Amino acid sequence: MAGDIVATWQAPRAVFRSRVGEQGAHPREDRALAVLILACGLVFVGHWPRLVRQSQLAGEDLNPLLGGALFAWMFLMPLVLYAIGTLSHLIAKAFGGRGSAYRARFALFWALLAATPAWLLTGLVAGFMGPGVAQQAVGAVALGAFLVFWALGFHEAEWGA
């Protein structure tokens, strides 16, 4: 899987096709959920340096900050991302999309996982350098990578099928 993440930065459509094609004619929702949970877990870990910095500078206890981020990324975001993935499929279907809700969701989940190296770097920059131009630049790259991976995967899921 790590090799596919690296390969996604070079050929996102091909990697998405191979990842979703591995599952054959029968979608494997358990694999999609595993990709989503892994992605959310890595993004959560990426927030640790920023939260440690915030805790030390503000004199706050670290545990509530980590608990809030854990709840947000491991419990709320999977539900939100499932809803966004399904809604995106319904919107695409209205515009002639031929894919399935599963493929649309998997495109979103894979995009988030593939962009996690950039999200982890964003967390490191936020933790070590604090707010500023560097954090904004790395955050923009992370967001841009996620959006590009999602757009390419989503197009492949809905119109490339």
Percent of the chain, pLDDT > 90? 74
Residue 161: is its pLDDT beyond 60?
no
pLDDT of residue 25: 59
Rounded-to-integer distance, Cα 153 and Cα 18, Å: 11
Contacts of range 57-63, beta carbons closer than 8 Å, 24 or more positions apart: none
Task: State the Cα angle at 51 between 39 and 76, rounded to 5°.
Answer: 40
Give me the helices (H) in 22-132, please.
Answer: 29-58, 62-71, 77-94, 101-114, 116-128
Residue 155 pLDDT level (bands cut at 50, 70, 90): very high
Q: What is the pTM of this model?
A: 0.90
Q: Is the pLDDT of residue 23 over 70?
A: no
Provide the CB-side half-sphere exposure for 137 (13 A, CA).
5
Domain residue spans of the chain = 27-159
Mean pLDDT within 123-136: 92
CB burial class (10 A; 0-12, 13-18, 19+) of residue 100? middle
The per-residue pLDDT of the chain, averaged, comes to 91
Tokens of 74: 């491991």
What's the pLDDT tens digit per position in 32-78? 999 999 999 999 999 999 999 999 999 999 999 999 999 999 999 99
What pLDDT, on a 0 to 100 scale, did the predictor assign at position 27? Answer: 77
pLDDT > 70? residue 90: yes
State mean pLDDT over 11-34. Answer: 81
